Amino acid sequence: MIPRLFRPGINAALLGMRVLFVLAVSPVVSAQDAHQPAQAADEKAFLAENDTAMTRMMNDMAAKPSGDIDRDFVAMMTPHHQGAIDMAVIELRYGKNEQLRRIAQEIIVDQMQEIAAMKLAIGEQVTASAPAPTQANPAVATQDHMNMSHDMKMPETK
pLDDT tens-digit series, residues 29-54: 445 555 677 778 899 999 999 999 99
Average pLDDT, the chain: 76
Taking only the tens place, the pLDDT of each residue in 79-109 is 999 999 999 999 999 999 999 999 999 999 9
Rounded-to-10 torsion of CA 113, 55, 36, 97: -20
How far apart are the C-alpha atoms of 40 and 48, rounded to whole Å?
A: 12
Q: What is the pLDDT of residue 81?
A: 97
Q: What is the pLDDT of residue 158?
A: 37
State whether residue 75 is helix, strand or coil: helix
Instruction: Quickly list H helices, the chain.
Output: 8-61, 69-94, 98-121, 138-144
Quote the crossing angle between the two packed helices 98-121 and 69-94, to the nearest 10°.
160
Among 19-23, 45-49, 54-58, 64-68, whose mean pLDDT is lowest? 19-23
Q: What is the pLDDT of residue 63?
A: 84
Q: What is the DSSP letter of 122?
A: T
Q: What is the pLDDT of residue 51?
A: 95
Amino acid found at 118: M
Of 111 and 38, the structure prediction assigns the larger pLDDT to 111
Q: Once rounded to an integer, what is the mean pLDDT over residues 59-69? A: 93
Of 36, 40, 38, 42, nearest to 136 by C-alpha is 42
Q: What is the pLDDT of residue 22?
A: 52
Are the beta carbons of 124 and 66 closer than 8 angstroms? Answer: no
Of 63 and 153, the structure prediction assigns the larger pLDDT to 63
Of 154, 35, 150, nearest to 85 by C-alpha is 150
Q: What is the pLDDT of residue 157?
A: 40
CB-CB neighbours of 84 under 10 Å: 20
Of 102 and 20, the structure prediction assigns the larger pLDDT to 102
Q: What is the pLDDT of residue 4?
A: 54
Count of residues in the chain? 158
